[in-house]
Structure 1
Amino acid sequence: MRLKDYPRFTIIMRGYTFQQADAILKAMKGLENEFAVEMTLNTPNALEQIKELTMTYGDSIYIGAGTVRTIDDVKAATAAGAQFLLGPHIFTTEMLNYAKQHNVLAVPAAMTPSEISDMFEQGADIVKVFPASVVSPRFFKDVQAPLGKLPLMGVGGISVENAQKFLSNGASYLGLGSGMFNPEDLEKLNIENLAAALNKLISSVQGVMV
């Protein structure tokens, strides 16, 4: 998987049933270049869901694993077919090396300039700044002033209301979780409304160059 092909937005699927996850991916028809999806490993049957979703949609949508915390998580998610791995904290060298050896994008999390720099030096493809809402959009601009342009992903508190601000301040990617969809639309598997939510996000950042 090549970094340049990775979409701007990652939908974080935490605690969703397979039917709900399937509905979200169906709603992405025509928007495959805009969105990737990650199933968090603390979701029931996460590995089975990743495997099944990858078999069905893996040719057109990037499907990965989230809440990756250990080398065992890395190995299990990779075996299930995950194309990228997101973590809530920094990755060990072993985790980063394993991902690279298996052509899987590694996206560890960091919150300081030192952690961000260290993760890139050790081979991270993208560094997830988490929780992004705590450091604010300006952090992305400020941290890249001395470090140079970096592939940073804002996760944590990102919404359709503030996505433009984060991208305008230098975030290259954004991850959106529970606030992305109306709970009722997920419950009723309303693909049309789920697609409308995705399109609303795209519209909210129209004209922003990343």
Structure 2
Amino acid sequence: MRTTVADFSKITCILRGYTAQETRLILEVLKDSGIRSVEITMNTEGALSMISEAVERFGDSLSIGAGTVLTMEQLQDVVAAGADFVLSPVMFTREMLDYCRERKVIAVPAAFTPSEIYAQLTGGADIVKVFPAVTVGPSYFRQLAGPLGSLPLMAVGGVNAENAREFIKNGCPYLGIGSGMFRRGDVNRGDADRLRADVEAFETAVRLPPVEGRG
């Protein structure tokens, strides 16, 4: 499915360093959850093929994106692979932002200071990833809203089930969750039941609405 900013998931699950088999397992778990957005990072071995496969197999139920996109060349590769959205730990150039807009791909570059955030948004970013969010803490998002108003920001880095609600309460509309979502051992063992339990615990923590027909 081609995702727009209007229906972009409030929670993005970040998959970094998983094998193709592990990635399939996680996507199977997430497709029946309230978490509708999944990012496969470019510093994962075989990332482009995983993105293509994920789009083909799960694209009707999940929004599949690419993370750790650092260059124009990488951006072109992930868009060609079918990514709905792209994230980065750094700011995008104007050329990269224009490329995303022209191809209707959601651009989520990173920024840290108010000036960087403002520059990325006025340059064409759809959402700005504040990374690492745990360094500035949840109150940073409320403080930014004072002079700048409500902004489409995503907290990434150190966000987990214990602190996710605090980011939301402080006005952060999007969260990116990496290692805070699953225990690596559960993924390695292919324990789908434990993974589902972790997803449901996270949904409860951030008060996502229940998924119809699950369970």
TM (norm. structure 2) is: 0.93
Partner residue of 1:188?
Answer: 189
Query: How big is the shift at 1:183?
Result: 1.5
What whole-Å deviation, never above 9, does each CA across 1:109-164 have from its counterpart, x for those lacking one? 00000011110101100000000000110000000111111110000000100000
Give the match for residue 4 of structure 2: 2
Q: CA deviation at 1:28?
A: 1.5
Q: TM-score, normalized by length of structure 1?
A: 0.96
2:32 and 2:81 mapped to 1: Cα distance?
25
Q: Give the corresponding residue for 2:22.
A: 20
Deviation digits for residues 27-84 of structure 1 (CA, Å, limit 9, x no counterpart): 12322x5331111001000000000111000111000000011111110000011100
Residue of structure 1 equivalent to 2:213 = none
1:110 counterpart residue number = 111
Deviation at residue 179 of structure 1 after TM alignment: 2.6
Which whole-Å CA distance do the structure 2 matches of 1:57 and 1:30 have between them? 11
Q: Which amino acid aligns with 1:50?
A: I
**Structure 1 stretch 129-138 or stretch 198-207: which is displaced more?**
198-207
Q: 1:85 to 1:29 in 2, by over 3 A?
A: closer
| Structure 1 segment 32-181 matched on structure 2, within 5 A | 33-181=34-182
* Alignment pair present for 1:30 and 2:32: yes
Aligned letter for 1:52?
Answer: E
1:207 Cα offset (Å): 7.7
Task: For structure 2, list consecutive stretches of 5 or more residues without a partner in the other structure.
Answer: 210-215
Give the Cα separation in 1 of the matches to 2:78 and 2:63.
14
Look up the match of 2:212: none
Measure, in 1, the Cα distance between the counterparts of 2:39 and 2:92.
17
Total equivalences in the alignment:
207
**Which SS does the other structure have where 2:182 is aligned?**
coil
Equivalent AA in structure 1 for residue 125 of structure 2: A
The structure-2 alpha-carbon separation of the partners of 1:207 and 1:99, relative to structure 1 and needing over 3 Å to count, comes to: closer
Task: Give the secondary-structure state (helix, strand or coil) at the position aligned to 1:16.
Answer: coil
Which segments of 5 or more consecutive residues in structure 1 lack a partner in the other structure? none
